[in-house]
Structure 1
Amino acid sequence: MADTEHSSKNVTEVSTDQQSNQSSKVEFSEEEEMLITMVYNLVGERWSLIAGRIPGRTAEEIEKYWNSRHSTSE
């Protein structure tokens, strides 16, 4: 019985990992990208303000997008 409980936890963990990987690959249109850049230049890292200008987008999605595109890797 313990083996059954353990294996069902693994399935849950795998499906959660798959969902988080899919949600991190959010696509933005060219217009959204330009708008994010313009508003970022005006207000900085105020993600909720930026998200308020783009219907259907959350502050978290925009912050992830920005950090993935504009990370400084040396």
Structure 2
Amino acid sequence: MADLDRSSDDVSTDSKDGDSRDSKMDFSGDEEKLITRMYNLVGERWPLIAGRIPGRTAEEIERYWTSRYSTSE
């Protein structure tokens, strides 16, 4: 039973790990080009852009765009 509790803790810790977020932030060149094209067409309509990229959420794409192209004003 203690093993069961420990494994569930490991899962929750892994999901919060920075590594899993970094791997999701690895966008292919094709994805980057598509995001840029779609952004130029529709603006910050992240769900619409995410609908064109299988396996990506609107939040991931917005986070990617913000980290890559945000400007300090």
CA distance in 2, matches of 1:17, 1:56: 17
Paired residues, number = 63
TM norm structure 1: 0.70
Q: RMSD across aligned C-alpha pairs, in angstroms?
A: 2.4
Q: Which runs of 5+ in 1 are unaligned?
A: 1-10
Partner of 2:27: 28
Higher Cα Rg, which structure: 1
| CA displacement at 1:71 relative to structure 2 | 1.2
Once the two structures are aligned, what percentage of the paired residues are identical? Answer: 64
Q: How does 1:1-74 map to 2 (within 5 A)?
A: 15=13, 18-19=16-17, 21-25=18-22, 26-73=25-72
| CA displacement at 1:17 relative to structure 2 | 8.2
CA 1:54–1:42 in structure 2 vs 1: closer, same or farther (change >3 Å)?
A: same
- Runs of 4 or more consecutive aligned structure 1 residues displaced over 4 Å after TM superposition: none
CA-to-aligned-CA distance 1:20-69 (integer Å, 9 cap, x gap) = x2343220000000000000000000000000000110000000000000
